[in-house]
Amino acid sequence: MYIFFSIMIIVCAILLILIVLVQNSKGGGLASGFGQGNQVMGVKKTADFLEKATWTLAVGLVVFCLLASFSIPDRKVQEPIKTERPIQNTPTGPATPAPQGE
Crossing angle of helices 2-22 and 43-70, in 10° steps, is 160
Over the stretch 22-73, which tens digit does the pLDDT of each residue have?
887 665 555 555 544 445 555 567 778 888 999 999 999 999 999 999 988 7
Q: Which residue has the higher pLDDT, 8 or 34?
A: 8
Q: Which residue has the higher pLDDT, 9 or 49?
A: 9
3-state secondary structure of 27: coil
Q: Which residue has the higher pLDDT, 1 or 55?
A: 55
